[in-house]
Amino acid sequence: MTAQMEILCIGNELLIGKTLNTNAHWLAKRTTILGITVKRITVISDDTKEIARALQETLQRKPRFIITTGGLGPTFDDKTLEGIAKGLNRKLEVNPKALKMVKEKYETYLKQGKIGKIELTPARVKMATLPKNTEPLHNPVGTAPGMMTDFKGTLIAALPGVPPEMEAIFDESLVPILKREAGKQAFFESSIYADRIMESNLAPLIDQAMRDNPHVYIKSHVYVKTDPQTEGGKPHIELHFSTTAENRKTAEKRLNKTTAQLSELVQKNGGKTRAVEKAGKQE
Amino acid sequence: MTAQMEILCIGNELLIGKTLNTNAHWLAKRTTILGITVKRITVISDDTKEIARALQETLQRKPRFIITTGGLGPTFDDKTLEGIAKGLNRKLEVNPKALKMVKEKYETYLKQGKIGKIELTPARVKMATLPKNTEPLHNPVGTAPGMMTDFKGTLIAALPGVPPEMEAIFDESLVPILKREAGKQAFFESSIYADRIMESNLAPLIDQAMRDNPHVYIKSHVYVKTDPQTEGGKPHIELHFSTTAENRKTAEKRLNKTTAQLSELVQKNGGKTRAVEKAGKQE
């Protein structure tokens, strides 16, 4: 079984439908490709108690990794570190390594003439105030460091909500760890389109193909475009095949065999299939 | 306090980063506008046990509403109804009203010449197999009915994952219920941009404006565009103001007062503000 991750997205803007959660999508895609299974994504508000509660609930499910996004900045509504401290029952304290990271950022801004003098205001020191026994993560893009800590076998990492910052810290600090954990396991996928057949008629065919190919997961996706009738109209059905394997050769063999079998079944039942993309690791 | 909702999105495609969760975004926006607070969004896999477990965890938090999306179709991976039945400890049974809805869809397809005959295959009957004591919800767009039931004061509604179907059932069957629950409460918001000031310098100003305007919530959002440096570079900061009120007049008065005060504070501290949009109910 592959290692499991849960993603915890913190931000009222996600709960009021102001911001589309592209961070969760980006993280889920990257993590899956690396061979780690994303088990759950939870979105919660900028509320210390709620963050602590959700973290504790997540820890009870014992995933190998928890990644949080959002709430690391200098403003009052950035409550992630406070929430994590509460959730882990650890004190908050100014982390000297994190403070050095923050200072160095402002020194750079000073040199670049972007600020007139360096003042470590409370709002700036806040970004370096981490739960006890945690490691700050270097932020190559913005000011607020990320944070990482271990709790009873679960690695918790906190990343900012600003996408370029979140992505940069993930790539720099977390990808090497996730790769090590995944070992040779990687995720492979492919898709074909099925036309002239209803999803309800596809159902037993998918069942059969999955029974004969136990390592491949098949999922049908209905896309409704111009014609609003999903079934009976002209829906657009994608058949998505995925597998986790130690190498591309094994994965492609499995995916190709399953695709060929299901295509044949669809055709026997009056449908048509057409290629979308070749099997392979997503980029 | 406004009534609370939790959204439960079911689908492996969301956890592998294949599909961006626009359903949660759409539902969160619509629900917020109606005056209901979305407290949490949870994304889980197409797994009966996982659905049952997540539903039970959600019920323990006692929200007034739970809306699930995805997993109502005819294929094997559509496990939401099975998961809800397990989570509520209810039996699954063919629901006569739901079966009638499904039959009527195929009768329409037959009349339209889209199918040759009506066969209620197991895959089709599956869409009408609901947990005991639940109400099917008419699907104006696709074939699979939605489902609604009450559990100890929480209204649980299951909607399909195909966006036009999900949206149509929400608008037709749930909006009237949510409106009744919200009463006169509605959500109002406005935004301004702040330039030439760092987020860390904005922090104490926001604190002050929030202290003086306890009914308004202010959140700063940093957008990093061409310049990758969030602070010190040319970040784009949005100040977002929101409030829940019984009428537009009260809401606008609050938002305008707070915006004016914070704008003045920003200007006093060397920054600039500019308008983005007028206060008002989102459409």
Instruction: Read off the pLDDT of residues A153-191 as tens digits, 9 standing for 90 and up.
Output: 999 999 999 999 999 999 999 999 999 999 888 899 999
pLDDT at residue number B89: 98
Answer for the pair B245, B273: CB distance below 8 angstroms, yes or no. no
- Of the candidates B147, B138, B140, B146, the one whose C-alpha atom is nearest the C-alpha of residue B164 is B140
Question: Is A92 in the B-facing interface, judged by CB distances under 8 Å?
Answer: no
Mean pLDDT, rounded, for A190-196? 92
Answer for the pair B28, B8: CB distance below 8 angstroms, yes or no. no
Radius of gyration for the alpha carbons in chain A, expressed in angstroms and rounded? 23
Question: How is residue A157 written in tokens?
Answer: 């990492």
pLDDT at residue number A226: 44
pLDDT at residue number B224: 72
Between the ranges A105-109, A116-120, B148-152, B242-246, where is the mean pLDDT highest? B148-152
Question: How is residue B245 written in tokens?
Answer: 């009120």
Q: Which of B26-30, B68-72, B115-119, B227-231 has the lowest mean pLDDT?
A: B227-231
Over residues B52-76, the pLDDT tens digits come to 999 999 999 999 999 999 999 999 8
pLDDT reading at B187 higher than 70: yes
pLDDT reading at B214 higher than 70: yes
pLDDT at residue number B16: 96
Question: Is B129 in the A-facing interface, judged by CB distances under 8 Å?
Answer: no
pLDDT at residue number A114: 79
Say whether A143 and B28 touch across the interface (CB within 8 A). Answer: no
Split at pLDDT 50, 70, 90, the class of A32 is very high
pLDDT at residue number A121: 93
Q: How far apart are CA A47 and CA B237, in angstroms?
A: 22
Percent with pLDDT over 70 in chain B: 93
Say whether B232 and A74 touch across the interface (CB within 8 A). Answer: no
Q: Where are the alpha helices (DSSP H) in chain B?
A: 12-15, 22-33, 48-60, 80-88, 96-111, 122-126, 163-169, 175-182, 199-212, 248-268
* Closest residue, chain A, to B57 (C-alpha): A57
Question: Is B205 in the A-facing interface, judged by CB distances under 8 Å?
Answer: no
Tell me the three state secondary structure of residue B132: coil
Mean pLDDT, rounded, for B231-242? 75
Q: How far apart are CA A150 and CA A159, in angstroms?
A: 15
**Residue found under tokens 């409030």:** B243
Answer for the pair A76, A127: CB distance below 8 angstroms, yes or no. no
pLDDT reading at A227 higher than 50: no
Residue A248's contacts (CB-CB under 8 Å, 6 or more residues apart) are A186, A188, A280, A281
| Cβ count near A57 (within 10 Å) | 17
Tell me the three state secondary structure of residue B85: helix
pLDDT at residue number A123: 93
Tell me the three state secondary structure of residue B276: strand
Radius of gyration for the alpha carbons in chain B, expressed in angstroms and rounded? 23
Q: In order of start, what are the domains of chain A with their CATH numbers?
A: 4-182 (3.40.980.10), 186-280 (3.30.70.1130)
Mean pLDDT, rounded, for A13-24? 97
* Nearest CB to A219; choose among B77, B202, B203: B77
